[in-house]
Amino acid sequence: MDRNTTIGFVLIGLLLIAMFYFNSKNRLAFEGEQKRIADSIARLQPPKKNELNASKIDSSNSTRNKTDLTSFGATTEPVITIVENDLFKISFTTKGAQPNAVELKKYKKYDGSPVILSQGEFNKFSYRINVSQNKSKAIEEINFNVLPVRQDGKNKIISFEASDSIGKKIIHEYTITEGEYMIGFKIKSSGSDFLFTQNAINFIWQVESPTIEKDHAYELTQSHFCYYENDNFDFQYLSKEDSKELKKTKWLGVKQQFFLTTLLAENSFTETNTTWKIPSDTSNHYLVRVINNARYQLNAGNESIVPLELYYGPSDYNILKKYNNHMENIVPYGSGIFAFVKYINRYFLLPVFDFIQKHISSMGIVILLLTLLIRLITSPILYKSYLSGAKMKVLKPEVDALKEKYKDDQQAFGMEQMKLWRTAGVSPLGGCLPALLQIPIFMSLYYFFQSNIDLRGKSFLWANDLAQYDSILKIPFEVPFYGDHVSLFTITAVITSLLISLYSMSNMQDNSNPLMKYMPYIFPVLLLGVFNKLPSALTWYYTVSNTITLILQIIIQKYIIDHDKIMLQIEENRKKPLKKSKMQERIDAMQESQRKLQELKKKS
């Protein structure tokens, strides 16, 4: 290194050393001053005001300095209190004054047992309170007093209270309303400026998602950590261990395939750090464990109320929508590059589906009628696609002649083929674009049938649950890319898809390519592996849709499309003056320049 570089590095090093020295000196001086102020305040205050004492106080100083809240106004053993409405039964424990288990009355697990959320020691929320100048205690270590349940119209209100001898108090108040899965939850405190360091509550909210559906692996792929941050909804897949940091979060939710547990804060959590872990095996009977560390800033003052809410219930779009807090976004009706299909699901498929199921009891027939309606709407697109294919088939002899004429010059063949199509009024994309327009419809139904809870537990034909795969045979071992069962609806979907491919192959204008002989079989074989674990509602829809498509294809091509009329129309198009768009003129000029370049190369 030269002299200037050496001097530069030395100066930088000296500056860094000086910076660390002065920062360290200032920090030590600041900490010493803070400690001096705290000690001065502690000496001025009476000992009784520095203690949150939940035990029986006697005249001795030793008893007065104890801060054991577990025996204040309650027995040492936790007390369970059950409160219920028409939708769920919730049991509260005085240990931490929080829900101990929530049983949903209208739903059953795959084995017929009740759906119970937030059950087990892992499921809890916690935060710490200061019980003396230098000591704090987690809220779940405190055994609260439970007050009698109050009735206020449709609301049932249950409160839990813990207090000390000088008026500092913590109250957890829950409001359960008839016909609602949402639970009102308030944390009220007196002496909050002492109870909470920096006047903030640091929540630890733990959620364990139990296994509810029969396919543990598939249910895990449908499980999400959802949140509303900075007025925007987003989610993370829970299929692998990870973490997420958030700012200004309105609510946090853990969603399984069809059920949801959510913590909502009216004034938002200022900071949140969330981690989740997957069990090493499925024998633990839970999908994932999620730990949320959320900070809530209190208003300055001695008295405070923290307005929160808890949701235990189905991930039903219609139910979540009415709360007007954007929780309906949790229902995955479209995501990723297909996020736009959620609008098709919300504003078209869901209203139509709800209307049909109000009048039809069989869910399989509801899907059948929905499929017929969709095919009726898309039939003009299908007709245009087949009409374009028929025009291409009429021009096949002329295309073959061009291919023979320019067999050694593919570029010239391509130019002449495009010219032939333009003069005949045929678009080469006429058959592709209508098919592409049907992709959003298929993807919207793909998301719809996986996420609609109304399908859950509904049987049809041999399928016991349209929200899960149907199985007519259990395989004693796992078949790669297929699974350990045989789904009959998957087989019917694959067979109908194969029939469509074979029929389309027989009507192709060019089937000389040997690779094309195997194309009809590739897609159905892929479907066999992909669809075998998907909900039977989706494979039933695909079976019906394929059958209708095949019938329409035969009717349109055999009885509606008139090939003689198409030929006359092509001849008429050839008589008309050819008009080119500016884009087509540029393409032609580019192709012409490339052709001349190729001729020059051949001559040279």
Q: Please say whether the dihedral angle defined by the alpha carbons of residues 7, 13, 14 and 16, taken in this order, is positive or negative.
A: positive
Q: Is residue 536 part of a domain?
A: yes
Q: Is residue 53 part of a domain?
A: no
pLDDT of 48? 41
Residue 33, both tokens: 């001053």
436-461, pLDDT tens digit by residue?
A: 777 888 888 889 998 999 999 899 98
pLDDT of 50? 37
Q: Indicate the residue type of 298.
A: L
Q: For residue 424, give the H/E element and its range.
A: helix 410-424
pLDDT of 92? 93
* Closest to 444 in 3D by CA, of 343, 545, 336: 343
Most confident of 53-62, 269-278, 415-424: 269-278
**Half-sphere exposure for 151 (CA within 13 Å, toward CB):** 5
Q: Which of 127-141, 309-323, 554-568 has the lowest mean pLDDT?
A: 554-568
Q: Is residue 495 part of a domain?
A: yes
pLDDT of 575? 60
How far is residue 275's CA from residue 280's CA, in Å, rounded to a whole number? 16
Find the mean pLDDT for residues 77-85: 90
Find the mean pLDDT for residues 141-168: 88
State which of 293, 316, 331 marks the end of a domain. 331
Residue 218, both tokens: 């598939």
Which domain, by its residues, includes 497? 469-555
Q: Is residue 289 part of a domain?
A: yes
State which of 517, 539, 555 marks the end of a domain. 555
Residue 407 pLDDT > 80: no
How far is residue 53's CA from residue 59's CA, in Å, rounded to a whole number? 14
Q: Are 270 and 296 in contact (CB under 8 A)?
A: yes
pTM: 0.76
Find the mean pLDDT for residues 517-536: 79
Q: Is residue 538 part of a domain?
A: yes
Find the mean pLDDT for residues 43-65: 37
Q: How many structural domains are present in the chain?
A: 2
pLDDT of 429? 62
Residues shown for the chain: 604
CATH number, domain with residue 230: 2.70.98.90
Q: Is residue 50 part of a domain?
A: no
Q: Which of 283-292, 402-411, 566-575 has the lowest mean pLDDT?
A: 566-575
Q: Are 94 and 242 members of one domain?
A: yes
* Closest to 431 in 3D by CA, of 507, 502, 497, 374: 507
pLDDT of 567? 67
State which of 314, 331, 348 marks the end of a domain. 331
Percent of the chain with pLDDT over 90: 32
pLDDT of 56? 33
How far is residue 13's CA from residue 7's CA, in Å, rounded to a whole number? 10
Phi and psi at 114, nearest 5°, equal -65, 150
* Closest to 210 in 3D by CA, of 198, 199, 223, 200: 223
Residue 389 pLDDT > 90: no
Radius of gyration of the chain (CA): 35
Cβ neighbours of residue 244 under 8 Å, at least 6 residues apart?
A: 225, 227, 236, 273, 274, 275
Residue 327 binned pLDDT confidence (cut-offs 50, 70, 90)? very high
Q: Which of 116-120, 303-307, 391-395, 493-497 has the lowest mean pLDDT?
A: 391-395
How far is residue 101's CA from residue 89's CA, in Å, rounded to a whole number? 8
pLDDT of 47? 44
Residue 5 pLDDT > 90: no
* Closest to 122 in 3D by CA, of 276, 277, 280, 291: 291
Find the mean pLDDT for residues 22-34: 50
Residue 67 binned pLDDT confidence (cut-offs 50, 70, 90)? very low
* Residue, of 470 and 29, whose pLDDT is higher: 470
Residue 352 pLDDT > 90: yes
Q: Is residue 349 part of a domain?
A: no
Q: How confident is the prediction for the chain on average, in pLDDT?
A: 79
Q: Is residue 497 part of a domain?
A: yes
Residue 7 pLDDT > 60: no
* Closest to 494 in 3D by CA, of 482, 506, 484, 505: 482
